[in-house]
Amino acid sequence: MTAKDGKRWNHNIHYHPRILAAVPEGARDALDVGCGEGTLARELRRRVARVTGIDRDAVSIGHARAHPGDIEYVLDDFLTHPFEPASFDVVASVATLHHMDAVAGLERMRGLLRPGGMLAVVGLARGSMPKDLPREVVTMAVSTYLRATRGHWQHPSPTVWPPPLTYSQVREVAAEVLPGSEFRRHLLWRYSVLWRKPRG
């Protein structure tokens, strides 16, 4: 189901602007990790000349490749695929980091970035009950409203639930692997991590 304006909406797509706004000026190569059927990869391609999407799910990659365009879609495991180190200006990922060991995933993303490149992750983590109950009530209300007004598009890719790490644990991992990174917890059951790889 899509919104009246024809645009797809779900909790992942809601946070795509956070990633797209982080794309550095002059970025030439972008990688979408766990690209699924390629919605984010196609949005990145409007800003970046060369976009690669990788996913280990054949059904997702099949959907992605069915779209016209010049994005390269790789069917493989991101953690082991033989990408050239430091070969991307943008490494982005949505709703995928919790499918793998977070330290290994972030370290691999860090290693694939060129100096000055941007890592932009939107992910899922576990809340802490009962502390998060008031927040959960607000989130449910806002999510219900947005679903009713925007429609909810169900992506065709594999999911993992519950996420293994809490928000605090992801924040700690990000601070350890990506010193100076910006971690934000968002309302709709998502967090984001932005990190610019130092030059030199």
Ligand X SMILES: C[S@@+](CC[C@H](N)C(=O)[O-])C[C@H]1O[C@@H](n2cnc3c(N)ncnc32)[C@H](O)[C@@H]1O
CA dihedral 47, 194, 77, 87 (to 10 degrees): 60
**63 neighbors 38 (Cβ within 8 angstroms):** yes
Cα–Cα dist 104/121, whole Å: 14
CB of 89 to ligand X, least distance (A): 19
CB of 102 to ligand X, least distance (A): 12
Tokens of 127: 């809340």
Q: How many CA within 13 A on the CB side of residue 58? A: 0
Nearer to ligand X, 59 or 175 (CB): 59
Nearer to ligand X, 6 or 26 (CB): 6
CB of 32 to ligand X, least distance (A): 7
Nearer to ligand X, 29 or 55 (CB): 55
CB of 54 to ligand X, least distance (A): 5
Nearer to ligand X, 104 or 138 (CB): 104
**48 neighbors 114 (Cβ within 8 angstroms):** no
Binding site for ligand X (CB under 6 A): 12, 34-36, 54-57, 60, 77-79, 94-96, 99-100, 155, 157-159
